[in-house]
Amino acid sequence: MTPIERILSYKFKNKKLLEEALTHSSYLNSPSYDRLEFIGDSAIGLAISTYFFPLYPDLNQGQLTLLRAANVSTEKLARVAVLHRLYSYVRRNADDLDDNVREFADAVALEDNSIPYVGLVKAPKVLADIVESVAGAIYVDVEFDLQKLWAIIKDFLKPIYTPEDLEADPQPVTLLFEDCQKKGKQVHIENQEKGSTYVAKVYVDCRPVASGFSKQKPIARLNAAREALIILSDSTDTKIKRVVTIDGIDGSFEIEGAKQKLHDFCCRKKWQSPSYR
């Protein structure tokens, strides 16, 4: 068995499929993984959906969609590739890509076990593509049998995030919109680009509430949403509170505890340090 087959605990009937699944387009004169990545992308999504649908009969469409997204996102699948060191088996001629993957892997090594909505370094799409192409190769090799595919890749894709995981570590932007919707408030996140830095500003009922900064647009949005949640609520993730008054927001929101505790919490979560107005 090849190293990848040992990782998967699966022996390919057609070895050419695995070879193709591990060939980047920069490697000339050989078929790349593009076609297998196409079918693998859909197959993983369908397999995950088929697994969750009967397992959680009380989840609505929106909840199932968030659950699937957490398990098949580029950020999640890229970390699967890092965990199994899949990139080292890929045939390629792309030095820049090698550097990006190495930087990302180094950043992942510093992370905790929270759901990877986004990291300190943007996940190279090639890593997620490899996971999808390998899944696509298996799917073709088992003659498009979805149950067989899932039996093979379920452990490979671990951790499989559950509704409990999402409740304990919710996506900040989604949580912000849901929280404000329950309170009858309108939310808008405005994105700006200032030089090499992205700035995201959160508005609630047309009033500015919080902002976030990053060299990556998605991280700027997450930072802004997290800051807004800390300001607008009793904090869903922690008991940390402080007293602030925001112009245009009815009442003041009491938040107990010291700024140092808030700073320490953000450090553990690898969030942007809080700013105080």
Cβ–Cβ < 8 Å for 266, 272: yes
| DSSP summary character for residue 18 | H
Burial class of 8 by CB neighbour count within 10 A (0 to 12, 13 to 18, 19+): buried
CATH of range 3-167; options 1.10.1520.10, 3.40.50.300, 3.30.1540.20, 3.90.1260.10: 1.10.1520.10
pLDDT of residue 268: 56
pLDDT of residue 99: 95
Upper half-sphere CA count for residue 188 (Cβ side, 13 Å): 7
pLDDT of residue 244: 31
pLDDT of residue 125: 93
pLDDT in tens, 71-114: 998 999 999 999 999 999 999 999 999 999 999 999 999 888 77
pLDDT in tens, 43-71: 999 999 999 999 999 999 988 988 998 89
Cβ–Cβ < 8 Å for 18, 89: no
Question: H/E/C letters for each residue in 211-245?
Answer: EEEECCHHHHHHHHHHHHHHHHCCCCCCCCCCCEC
Domain ranges of the chain: 3-167, 172-269
Mean pLDDT in each 10-residue stretch from start to end of the chain (277 residues)? Answer: 94 97 95 97 97 97 90 94 97 94 94 78 92 98 98 97 90 87 91 89 92 82 87 51 31 37 55 59
pLDDT of residue 129: 97
Q: Across the chain, which distance is largest between two alpha carbons, in Å?
A: 66
CATH of range 172-269; options 3.90.580.10, 3.30.160.20, 3.40.50.300, 3.90.180.10: 3.30.160.20
